[in-house]
Structure 1
């Protein structure tokens, strides 16, 4: 009987003020709908991945580039027999903004990648080379040169500017109050009614509007923020049980379930990788 062989390694580097690099091979992994604080920029090494973005499913075959904007809801699973392998980084908006500013690119709007999958063999090669260098090269000049060059070309070729939507400020501000509260206190045990009271609207309206703006209902959005908090706590050396409880999960198994479906590794695996 053939056993599944799944490998995922998260490696943190110093470039751009701190950046997480993922090298992974999956066969049976299924990512639930989730978000990242940063952009997801990845290149498929082998196989193919199917993922949801913008309400539609997309397939990224070998040598294609995956582009998911920050805080954009997506999922992921195999689209080929035998699974898929890929490398990815998750730069924050301000990290890409730094490169845009230094390169003299227009920065009046937020950076937005319109296409979920792009077929650009030259750029895929540059991105793969940069990610390999981040994981294996000890030469800082080489690492930074390759990374900055690949990201700049990616933004020039496939990035657009997206200006803020024109809509009544008061309506958006009410929902932003809820979002800001969840970001400030992701571990807080708060009810939907309490959040609705904070926004000054009824519960049903809050759920509809929150999902419209952010792609997830409030409880699912809170789970994503708790996973991110648990990541930070684990990186800073917290015990897994303490990280789970401090992040608002009921116990370690509760954290394990959501962590694996979001990041593709267990909290224990992630903790061991931080010590390398």
Structure 2
């Protein structure tokens, strides 16, 4: 099996690049401008970060801070490893976090791993930028807890209601949590926390249910699935079908046929 590498720039706030690789490559000492958030899917990697030795395996999420030198190689000489990396802008995390993470760059909790894997999973499908953005904010929360910087979120029902009105009014548009946060004068992470705290559902999940509900009504009125997808904010018919089936248990076409 030959070396395989894939890299691209996703249209997701803060996320600059996604990089997938399968090879046996030894990286020399170097530093990134961005945060590197690495999943090792098979094999294992040993690396030096800021002069200390570390190990990256499939059971861990590895964080490589911007500007801090590191290298990397297969933990077993001659054995390939497979990894997926997210390169995230330096302002993803507040100042002072990088130095702490350089000493403790490994997260092993199930929540962090699931959130990081979800980013890669949803990026396989067009139209899922907000889902990836939400998962990236979830990883951010995990890192802040890891470094002891998480804080209790005060209740802010008025802000949550303002976001809900925005989602209700603009559910058919393409937008991001970051753009909603700018409109509402809040940090994206805070916006997600207060909405989830107030309504018991994440903003992204709420938005999807609003879109599916609108699609359901249009299908009952005789709309074609492809036209309904375009009118309700989905990227295409396949995007609508994936979420419609997840929420309602059937495809839009089957639902429309059964309602006639």
Provide TM-score, normalisation by structure 2. Answer: 0.50
The answer to whether structure 1 residue 49 and structure 2 residue 49 are counterparts is: no
What corresponds to 1:272 in structure 2? none
The answer to whether structure 1 residue 62 and structure 2 residue 58 are counterparts is: yes
Shift of the alpha carbon at 1:59?
Answer: 1.3
The answer to whether structure 1 residue 120 and structure 2 residue 117 are counterparts is: no
**Secondary structure at the counterpart of residue 136 of structure 1:** coil
Shift of the alpha carbon at 1:132?
Answer: 2.5
| C-alpha contact 2:122 2:132 (8 A) present in aligned 1 | yes
Q: 1:149 to 1:110 in 2, by over 3 A?
A: closer
**Secondary structure at the counterpart of residue 66 of structure 1:** strand
User: Which one of the candidate residues 60, 68, 72 is aligned to 2:68?
Assistant: 72
Segments of structure 1 that go 5 or more residues without pairing to the other structure are 98-106, 162-276
What corresponds to 2:169 in structure 1? none
What corresponds to 1:148 in structure 2? 137
Equivalent-residue separation in structure 2 for 1:65 and 1:16 (angstroms): 21
Q: 1:152 to 1:52 in 2, by over 3 A?
A: same
What corresponds to 1:221 in structure 2? none
| C-alpha contact 2:14 2:89 (8 A) present in aligned 1 | no
The answer to whether structure 1 residue 37 and structure 2 residue 33 are counterparts is: yes
Equivalent-residue separation in structure 2 for 1:75 and 1:134 (angstroms): 27
Segments of structure 2 that go 5 or more residues without pairing to the other structure are 151-260
Provide TM-score, normalisation by structure 1. Answer: 0.48
For residues 155-205 of structure 1, the C-alpha deviation after alignment (integer angstroms, 9 at most, x for no partner) is 3224669xxxxxxxxxxxxxxxxxxxxxxxxxxxxxxxxxxxxxxxxxxxx
Shift of the alpha carbon at 1:76?
Answer: 0.7
Equivalent-residue separation in structure 2 for 1:126 and 1:76 (angstroms): 24
**Secondary structure at the counterpart of residue 24 of structure 1:** strand
Equivalent-residue separation in structure 1 for 2:106 and 2:131 (angstroms): 27
Q: 1:25 to 1:158 in 2, by over 3 A?
A: farther
What corresponds to 1:6 in structure 2? 3
User: Who wins on radius of gyration, i.e. which is larger?
Assistant: 2
| C-alpha contact 1:66 1:118 (8 A) present in aligned 2 | yes
Q: 1:143 to 1:92 in 2, by over 3 A?
A: closer
What corresponds to 1:191 in structure 2? none
Equivalent-residue separation in structure 2 for 1:130 and 1:58 (angstroms): 24
Equivalent-residue separation in structure 2 for 1:84 and 1:159 (angstroms): 32
In the TM superposition, 1:90-105 aligns within 5 A as: 90-97=87-94
Shift of the alpha carbon at 1:143?
Answer: 2.2
For residues 66-98 of structure 1, the C-alpha deviation after alignment (integer angstroms, 9 at most, x for no partner) is 11111110011111363211111121222334x
User: Which one of the candidate residues 71, 85, 109 is aligned to 1:88?
Assistant: 85
Q: 1:110 to 1:64 in 2, by over 3 A?
A: closer
Equivalent-residue separation in structure 2 for 1:55 and 1:67 (angstroms): 15
| C-alpha contact 1:87 1:128 (8 A) present in aligned 2 | no
Q: Which moved more, 1:118-127 or 1:66-75?
A: 118-127
For residues 76-132 of structure 1, the C-alpha deviation after alignment (integer angstroms, 9 at most, x for no partner) is 1111363211111121222334xxxxxxxxx6x454413133322331122111122
What corresponds to 1:24 in structure 2? 21
